[in-house]
Amino acid sequence: MPQPQDAPPSPPSPTASFYDVSDDEEGEYSAIRQSKSNKGVKLLYAKSKVYVHPSASAKDNVAGYIALVEQKPVVGDGERRKSAVTHPPAVAGKSGKSDNNHNLLLSWLPEGSLGDGREKYAKADMAEADSPPHRPDLVPPPPVTTTHGASIGTYPFSVPLSEIYSILFRPPSSGWWHGSIVINTRTGESFPALFFHDNECQSTINQRKRLQRENFDIGSSSGGGMHWGGDEVMKWLKNHATVERSAHEPSLYLVDPTEDDQKAFGLSRRPTSDNVRNMLEGKDKGESSKQKKKEDPVGKALKEARWTVLEKLSQVTTFTRRTAQAVAENKNLPPPVRRLMQSPQVQSMSDEFDSARLYLARWAMSIAEQAEKERSQRIWTARDILEMEESELGSFEVLDAEALSLQDKRKPVTAEEWESFFNASTGRLEKTQLEVKERIFHGGLSKDDDVRKEAWLFLLGVYEWDSSADERKAKIHSLRDEYIRLKGAWWERLADDRGSLEEKEWWKEQRMRIEKDVHRTDRHIPLFAGEDIPHPDPDSPFAEAGTNVHLEQMKDLLLTYNEYNRDLGYVQGMSDLLAPIYAVQQDDAVAFWGFVGFMDRMERNFLRDQSGMRLQLLTLDHLCQLLDPKLYEHLQRLDSTNFFFFFRMLLVWFKREFEWFDILRLWETLWTDYYSANFHLFIAMAILEKHRNVILEHLKGFDEVLKYVNELSGTIDLPSTLARAEALFRRFQRMVEAIDRKDNFPSMPTVRQRLPQPPPSPSNSQTGASASGRERTAADNAAAGAGKEKEKVISPELRMLLSRDIPKLEKKEVREHGGGIGS
């Protein structure tokens, strides 16, 4: 390769990157600071249809090109000259790539300013290469700036890479906004956002098609969301500079960061087991400066080393406690991590785990959870959910909350707002049932007033939604009477000696079961804590310990339910379901009927033959197969597709996984049946997806999966889980629609439009014509994965998920499979 021969006044190029050694026109392009009249700069890459939006009005948008150009090294710059001496081309390989970044300019040029260069830009835009061309075209040099003037949009600008501190990459969200980037300079200036109108940009469209051909996989952990123009720019930058993502600001990327920058932005602290290991061994710092030079900051070498290291760690049985201690004392760690390490939870966890691999996996996840919780003050908006819906399943991005126009809708419903839903004189609901449910689904009910007392009775079916205040009063009256009657019935049963031996035996057993379970249900809640009255039954195993009035009420309630539903009777887990309802109502009769309403839908969980639980686990199996085939395959390999590890979550609706107040919020959300009467399965999927990478990477057996999932208890962040579940539901709904359309399936009424539909007539085929804008998007998305969609089938179990009808059992089924004493 010929070296530049005739570069008269200038020193040799300070670095020899892989393309400029092949260059033989070195002398002909200009150092643009000096002149505008010289021949030009090398155009390495360009992308069209990149807009500046100077005002809110679309008509002011200015279309242009973003480009990376290389200028000739600046002459007479002492600084540069020195660097040229210390880094002669002979030794400058890839490692020196950042050194020539003052020669590289990231530019934006309005289409109108291109003049003669227009064709060259268009050509560079359409070049489908991953690396710069061997013979880049020369174009007129754009003016260099490190600040931007007041009038944006009309003038081109370009910034030396060496002056760029960071770039904010905001991926697009279809139907909402264009993807954009914002360049921040080292002097602290921000350039106007550049918007990528991907749908107008032929090169982006081509790239998308190519990528979709290559790998369409919703579970793919590599690609991320939909390809957009910003991804290309990222690629250019990564070819020439070190680009690292900030851990604190996931959309922020630092360009050639210094070590201080890295620390400030918590680079490479995304909790992977690699990072965790680095931290454990206290060599985080050294490692990251080495990594800096590599293309992939979470380096390949580390990946290879991981298993050896983990294996070594696992030989040391005292590993967990000792290292946890060391980590807690390591001053290089960010405060949240240190705090976390000192929490009792982590401490006890480290006592228990003898497997380093599991321990690391769990620890990494708990850091992620902690981060999510620390961000938790934010309110999830519909926009966020759309974001999630569009983004890759495995690593949901938490995006900067921008203008939150929908924020109000997500505030909890207060008693005052609740009352405003009703007519002041009749007490009849003036909104639609669906409107109210939407509010509760997204906002929840306030925990600071008594709104739950009343609202839950609607959600649990004790009150009719269309009832008047008087009707409700009458209803509660008669329900109180009925409760007293039922309570008296079992009371007499236990006092008298009537009934068959079998019946008596059953009652005795049930009573003991209830006794034992109530005394170990939610005792950490102040209401149920402590014993301040003597136990009424001296033969009870709790006679010595004593009891309290709320425990006694709970027992009476469960025995009354045992009387009310003798076909099923009390089954373990029911006390968990009753406690929140009782605590909210604190009125035994009212709580009882609320519980009955809840049990109507939960009965199937408790059948003797477990058929209801099987059905739900099977549905979860199908759902995972559809939404995340990659994870499903992995679970299959681990013999875990019985999804038994979700048994507890499904049986008592995550009661053991979330904190008390989160449960109240979660249950009222689920009770709305806003999207689906089986939305709890999407909550389960959301939890699974959150942990998919850990499961894929680290868990190697059924027992490990079970343990890992069990241990999530108390660590799951609810708001983000709800948002993720909603995104998953909508993704599911779109997939079903798309598959149905493809199979020419007579379209089912979707959840959103449950209008009675006219019977499909032959002339009015439902394919195509009726598609609304939104449906078309879904169809497009589906078409993208058409090849893959082929063998996908929507099982009846999955189709059921689109229904809002509560899955209640027939009385007959309960009688046959309930396992109670019968009536």
Q: Which region among 432-440, 482-490, 700-708, 754-762 touches other proteins (by CB under 8 A)?
A: 700-708
Token code pair at residue 166: 């960071």
Classified as helix, coil or strand, 334 is coil
Residue 51, interface with other proteins (CB under 8 A)? no
Look up residue 780 and give its DSSP letter: H
Q: Which residues contact 766 (CB under 8 A, 6 or more apart)?
A: 746, 747, 760
Is 617 a binding residue for other proteins by CB under 8 A? The answer is: yes
| Listed residue (662, 711, 691, 719) closest to 345, CA to CA | 711
Smallest gap from Cβ 357 to other proteins, in A, equals 12
- Tell me how crowded residue 781 is: count the other CB atoms within 10 A of its CB: 18
Only one of the segments 33-41, 110-118, 261-269, 570-578 lies at the binding site for other proteins (rule: CB under 8 A); that segment is 570-578
First-to-last alpha carbon distance for the chain, in angstroms, is 94
Please give, one letter per residue, the 3-state secondary structure of 677-716. CCCHHHHHHHHHHHCHHHHHHHCCCHHHHHHHHHCCCCCC
**What minimum distance in Å lies between the beta carbon of 542 and other proteins?**
10
**Position among 93, 534, 541, 714 found at the interface with other proteins (CB under 8 A):** 541
- Smaller CB distance to other proteins: residue 447 or 608? 608
The answer to the question of residue 521 lying near other proteins (CB under 8 A) is yes
* 691 within 8 A of 649, measured Cβ to Cβ: no
Contact status: 706 vs other proteins (CB under 8 A): yes
CA 329 to the chain's CA centroid: 31
* Coil, helix or strand at residue 156: coil
- Tell me which of 459, 602, 635, 651 binds other proteins, using CB under 8 A: 651
Does position 311 bind other proteins by CB under 8 A? yes
| Window contacting other proteins (CB under 8 A); options: 294-302, 636-644, 740-748, 783-791 | 636-644
Query: Does residue 795 belong to the site contacting other proteins (CB under 8 A)?
Result: no
Question: How far, in Å, CA of 287 to CA of 307, rounded?
Answer: 17
Which one of 47-55, 242-250, 400-408, 514-522 is the stretch in contact with other proteins (CB under 8 A)? 514-522
Closest distance to other proteins from the beta carbon of 73 (Å): 55
Q: Quick one: 464 or 639, whose CB is closer to other proteins?
A: 639
- The verdict on 321 binding other proteins (CB under 8 A) reads no
Mark residue 217 as left, alpha or beta (left: phi above 0; alpha: psi -120 to 50; beta: remaining): beta
Stretch of 252-260, 285-293, 549-557, 566-574 lying at the interface with other proteins (CB under 8 A): 566-574
**Residue 710 touching other proteins (CB under 8 A):** yes
Q: Give the shortest CB-520-to-other proteins separation in angstroms.
A: 5
Can you tell me which of 339, 707, 742, 815 binds other proteins, judged by CB under 8 A?
707
* Phi and psi at residue 6, to the nearest 5°: -115, 75
CA atoms of 665 and 410, how far apart (whole Å): 13
Nearer to other proteins by Cβ, of 159 and 613: the residue is 613
Q: Give the separation between CA 760 and CA 764, rounded to whole angstroms.
A: 6
d(CA 475, CA 704): 50
Of 79-87, 390-398, 419-427, 520-528, the window that binds other proteins (rule: CB under 8 A) is 520-528
CA-based nearest residue to 667, from 459, 361, 405, 425: 459
Plot region of 822 (φ>0 → left; ψ -120 to 50 → alpha; else → beta): left
Q: Minimum Å distance from CB 317 to other proteins?
A: 6
Site for other proteins contains 572 (CB under 8 A): yes
**Angle of helix 469-495 versus helix 549-564 axis, rounded to 10:** 90
Taking alpha carbons only, the member of 13, 16, 257, 18 closest to residue 130 is 18
Tell me: does residue 537 bind other proteins (CB under 8 A). no
Q: How far is the CB of 494 from other proteins (least distance, A)?
A: 17
Contact pick of 644, 747, 777, 800 for other proteins (by CB under 8 A):
644
Nearer to other proteins, 169 or 658 (CB): 658
| Residue showing tokens 């959600």 | 459
Interface with other proteins by CB under 8 A: which residues? 311, 314-315, 317, 351-352, 354-355, 509, 512-513, 516-517, 520-521, 523-524, 541, 545, 571-573, 575-576, 606-611, 613-614, 617-618, 621, 639, 641-642, 644-645, 647-648, 651-652, 656, 702-703, 706-707, 710, 819
